[in-house]
Amino acid sequence: MISNKQKILIVDDEPDILELIAYSLKKAGYTIFTAKNGKEAVQEAKKCLPDLIILDVMMPKMDGIEACRVLRTMPEFKNTFMVFLTARSEEYSEIAGFNVGADDYIAKPIKPRALLSRINAILRRNLQAEEVTETKLEISNLVIDREAFLVFQDGNKIVLAKKEFELLYLLASKPGKVYTREAILSSIWEDSVVVTNRTIDVHIRKLREKLGNDYVTTVKGVGYKFETVEA
Predicted confidence at residue 195, as pLDDT, reads 65
What pLDDT sits at residue 192? 52
Helix and strand tally (H, E) in the chain? 8, 12
pLDDT of residue 87: 74
38, 149 Cβ separation under 8 angstroms: no
**Which pLDDT band holds residue 3 (cuts at 50, 70, 90)?**
very low
Least Cα distance to 12 among 72, 80, 85, 82 occurs for: 85
151 Cβ contact partners less than 8 Å away, ≥ 6 residues apart: 142, 143, 144, 145, 157, 158, 160, 165, 168, 211
Q: What is the location of CATH 1.10.10.10 in the chain?
A: 132-226
H helical segments located in the chain = 15-27, 38-48, 64-72, 91-99, 112-131, 162-172, 181-184, 197-211
DSSP class of residue 185?
Answer: I
Q: Where in the chain is the domain with CATH 3.40.50.2300?
A: 7-130
Fold for domain 132-226? Arc Repressor Mutant, subunit A (1.10.10)
**What would the pLDDT profile of 189-219 be if each residue is shown by its tens digit?**
765 555 677 788 889 999 999 999 889 999 8
- Neighbour count for residue 114 (Cβ, 10 Å): 10
Higher pLDDT, 224 or 108: 224
Summarize pLDDT for 92-147 with one digit per residue, the tens.
566 777 777 777 788 788 888 888 888 887 787 655 555 444 578 888 889 998 88
Q: For residue 43, name the pLDDT band (cuts at 50, 70, 90).
A: very high
What gap in Å lies between CA 191 and CA 182, rounded to an integer? Answer: 11
Give me the pLDDT at residue 85, please. Answer: 84
- CATH pick for 7-130 out of 3.30.2290.10, 3.40.50.2300, 3.30.465.10, 3.40.50.880: 3.40.50.2300
Distances (CA, A) of 96 to 55, 174, 189: 13, 21, 24
DSSP secondary structure code for residue 75 in this structure? G
Query: What was the pLDDT predicted at 133?
Result: 45
